[in-house]
Amino acid sequence: MKYKSQKVAYWFFALSMLLLSLQLIYGLIMGFAHAGMDGLHEWIPFNTAKAVHTNLLVVWLLSGFMGAAYYIIPEEAQHELVSVKLAYVQLISLAVVGVLAIIGYHFNIWEGRKFLEIPRGLDYLVVVNVLLFMGLILMTLWKGKRKTTTALVLTMGLLFAALLYLPGMIDFDSQVLDSFFRWWVVHLWVEGVWELIMGGILSFLLIKLTGVDREVIEKWLYVIVGLTFLSGILGTGHHYYYIGVNKIWLIVGGIFSALEPLAFLAMALFAVNMYRKGEKKHPNKTALLWTIGSAIVSFVGAGLLGFAHTLPQTNIYTHGTIVTAMHGHLSFWGAYAMIVFAIISYALPNMTGRKFYDTARGRMAFWISNIGMIGMTVAFGVAGVAQVYMERKMKVDFMSVQKDIEVHFWVLIIMAILFIVGITLYIIEFFKHGQPNDEALIE
Amino acid sequence: MLSKKQARAFFLVGTAVTFLIFIGLTVYSLGEAQDQTNRDQLSESAIRGKWLWDKNNCMGCHTLMGEGGYYAPELTKVVERRGDAYIKAALMSPVPWQPNGRKMVAYNMSEAEANDMVEFFKWIGNVDLNGFETIVSPLAKKNN
Ligand code: HEM
Ligand code: HEM
Ligand SMILES: [Fe+2]
């Protein structure tokens, strides 16, 4: 750590870990409900569990991205964060908004729009919160000594993500329009601007961990984010096939979304090649594992499993089934959860001075959580394919199919427990580092 | 070999061009002439139904036009499949509706609210979904 103000990042990461733990509990509740055990129905009906599970995911990832930015931007810009105090205000208000939203979901206070359930009143608080965050980052960058491509791409991703929150706040009388613009947020986030955030963090980590020349890494960063937008913007069309808009989207969405895996492939090749090329390898093996892992698993989860159902001919059968949930898990995990874990693993030893670079617990956390998540993906996949075949091909009634696939949710639960063991190890390792301190400052 | 400058140009130009096409296609496909939703038939009652759909986060369990939770049946063609009376009974029930063991939240809606929901589902049921409506089970039996 080179700048005192980077320490703020620690608290964003800690908030991430806390919300992640809660997210998993609600995932288990849904897993059990699918397996036929919905004993909590009266207090936590499925729609509450689902909104909490997905919103906590988004909030902990955002908290991780914000922590990443507070760590990376001062170092890249070579300037202390303009105001540490305001960064703490921002942290607390983020936690407050998140917690209020989650509590509200238990009392039927929400908007029925998948992923964007936060009620309107709180939306405004989100906007204020994000404005404060962006203000701090942009001011720091502005005053900084240098403006690197890595910092610019990361900041651009964060800024666009903030702007794209707005289309989700327009009210429509038509469900079709509602859905149409919901995708401007959800799709253009995960298959657009969040990839810039991921690319920025990845590039920062590769520069630090492999010792490859910044110019080389940043050149490929441009290629990657270029591929992302080139395919991802028009790729939004893959959500417009069957929601009541013009057929033109079948062609445009089909072609461009089929190209989206290229950006993820490029990311994987980029990470592996830079690793091979690097001569000054950093001793932080754990961070390296998560970094390369993220690039590879995101290609599988988003690239391959996304491609598997993105063509209109396939999507007409899989649209809105457990197949989608299968892809949703491995893609979010590989691309965004793992990159947050990577930056945490890199930053923690630097902020606390405890050099847990290559511990058995750290390695176990990586392998067990990944094996668990892959097992979960397989369980969802088998359940999903069976559902598509029986329900959509054989035209068997929805609920009788659900009964038939219950068993796969028991497999899901077992795999989820394995996954949770991995995550628990990661969180233990996190807190074993202790708190950030100024003795960890170097130079 | 590719230079950093060229890489940046690729990013900027690619983004600008696809973004403009995207906006163009959005304007085109949402235009009056392309309407597949019978927007002129969207009644006050159906709009109130949509509001109830939203307020209760029905999408947290059910899918509609293929979007939502995967816990409860797809409702795109529910009126054709079940008829008004069945739907209203489910919505007005003071105890959790559970014809197959899986519970729905007991919404205990008024008759007027349940009517609005049915109007909403009727409007949705008439939207042209580019063929998806014939796939969604089990109504599709008679269409295939
Ligand atoms: C890291 C990147 C990605 C993440 C986090 C992600 C996540 C998700 C999630 C959560 C959904 C469900 C959304 C909803 O129903 O509201 C979804 C749907 C979908 N994704 Fe992705 N995705 C990613 C990348 C991709 C890519 C690269 C492709 C294509 C090659 C793709 C293809 C699809 C398709 C076709 C659907 C619609 C499924 C349906 O019709 O039900 N995704 N994705
Ligand atoms: C304990 C581990 C977990 C379990 C048991 C679990 C289980 C579930 C279940 C049962 C659903 C609901 C599917 C439905 O609507 O019927 C779901 C949705 C979802 N989960 Fe998880 N989950 C877990 C962890 C995670 C993690 C770590 C992530 C992200 C990295 C994640 C991301 C998602 C997403 C994006 C959805 C929405 C998918 C969609 O609607 O298409 N989950 N989860
Ligand atoms: Fe998408």
Q: What's the total number of domains in chain B? A: 2
CA distance B67 to A176: 11
Same domain membership, residue B71 and residue B1: no
Give me the CATH number covering residue A124.
1.20.210.10
CA distance B144 to B139: 10
Strand, coil or helix: what is B122?
helix
Tell me the CA–centroid distance for residue A57 and ligand 2, in Å: 9
Cβ of B18 and A398 within 8 Å? no
- CB neighbour list of residue A209: distance below 8 Å, 6 or more residues apart: A275, A278, A281, A282, A284, A287, A288, A291, A346
Q: Examine the pLDDT at B138 and tell me if it is beyond 60.
A: no
Angle, vertex CA A337, rays to CA A209 and CA B66, nearest 5: 145
Tell me the CA–centroid distance for residue A27 and ligand 2, in Å: 6
- Which residue in chain A has the smallest CA separation from B14? A230
Instruction: Give the other-Cβ count within 10 Å of A144's Cβ.
Output: 19
Please give, rounded to a whole number of angstroms, the shortest distance from the CA of A434 to a CA of chain B: 39
**pLDDT score, position B139:** 52
Judged by a CB distance cut-off of 8 A, whether residue B21 touches chain A is yes
Same domain membership, residue B43 and residue B70: yes
Same domain membership, residue B50 and residue B28: no
**pLDDT score, position A93:** 97
- CB neighbour list of residue A131: distance below 8 Å, 6 or more residues apart: A162
pTM greater than 0.95: yes
CA distance A293 to A272: 10
Q: Give B64-102 pLDDT, tens digit per residue.
A: 999 999 999 999 999 998 999 999 999 999 999 999 889
Same domain membership, residue B43 and residue B31: no
A327 lines ligand 1 (CB under 6 A): yes
Distance of CA A64 to the CA centre of its chain: 9
Instruction: Per residue of chain A (443 residues), give pLDDT as tens.
Output: 899 999 999 999 999 999 999 999 999 999 999 999 999 999 999 999 999 999 999 999 999 999 999 999 999 999 999 999 999 999 999 999 999 999 999 999 999 999 999 999 999 999 999 999 999 999 999 999 999 999 999 999 999 999 999 999 999 999 999 999 999 999 999 999 999 999 999 999 999 999 999 999 999 999 999 999 999 999 999 999 999 999 999 999 999 999 999 999 999 999 999 999 998 889 999 999 999 999 999 999 999 999 999 999 999 999 999 999 999 999 999 999 999 999 999 999 999 999 999 999 999 999 999 999 999 999 999 999 999 999 999 999 999 999 999 999 999 999 999 999 999 999 999 999 999 999 999 86
Pair of tokens at residue B82: 């079940």
Q: Give the range of the structural domain holding residue B1, as residue numbers without chain letter.
A: 1-35
For residue A312, whether the previous peptide bond is cis, meaning omega lies within 30 degrees of 0, is: no
Paired strand residues for B67:
B64
Helix (H) or strand (E) holding A344: helix A338-352
**Rounded to 5 degrees, what are φ and ψ at A417?**
-65, -40
**pLDDT score, position B137:** 55
Same domain membership, residue B116 and residue B48: yes
CA distance B50 to B120: 6
Q: Examine the pLDDT at B140 and tell me if it is beyond 50.
A: no
Same domain membership, residue B102 and residue B79: yes
Tell me the average pLDDT across B98-117. 96
CA distance A192 to A184: 10
Identify which ligand lies nearest to the alpha carbon of A426.
2
Q: Where are the alpha helices (DSSP H) in B1-144?
A: 4-29, 44-55, 78-82, 84-92, 111-125
Q: Are strands B63-64 and B67-68 parallel, antiparallel or unpaired?
A: antiparallel
Q: Give the range of the structural domain holding residue A322, as residue numbers without chain letter.
A: 4-441
Q: Which residues of A touch B7 (CB under 8 A)?
A: 219-220, 222-223, 226
Identify which ligand lies nearest to the alpha carbon of A335.
1
Please give, rounded to a whole number of angstroms, the shortest distance from the CA of B71 to a CA of chain A: 7
Q: Which residues of B touch A173 (CB under 8 A)?
A: 42, 47, 50
> Are the beta carbons of A44 and A77 closer than 8 angstroms?
no
Q: Which of residues 48-107 of B touch A (CB under 8 A)?
A: 50, 53-61, 63-74, 96, 99-103, 105
Cβ of B14 and A229 within 8 Å? yes
Tell me the CA–centroid distance for residue A339 and ligand 1, in Å: 18
**pLDDT score, position A103:** 98
Q: Give B13-63 pLDDT, tens digit per residue.
A: 999 999 999 999 999 999 999 999 999 999 999 999 999 999 999 999 999
**pLDDT score, position B22:** 98
- How many Cα neighbours within 13 Å face the side chain of B51? 12
Q: Give A340-387 pLDDT, tens digit per residue.
A: 999 999 999 999 999 999 999 999 999 999 999 999 999 999 999 999
Q: Which residues of A touch B97 (CB under 8 A)?
A: none
Q: Which residues of B touch A247 (CB under 8 A)?
A: 130
A225 lines ligand 2 (CB under 6 A): no
CA distance B9 to B12: 5
Give me the CATH number covering residue B44.
1.10.760.10
**For residue B34, what are the CA distances in angstroms to A248, A392, B25, B27?**
10, 28, 11, 10
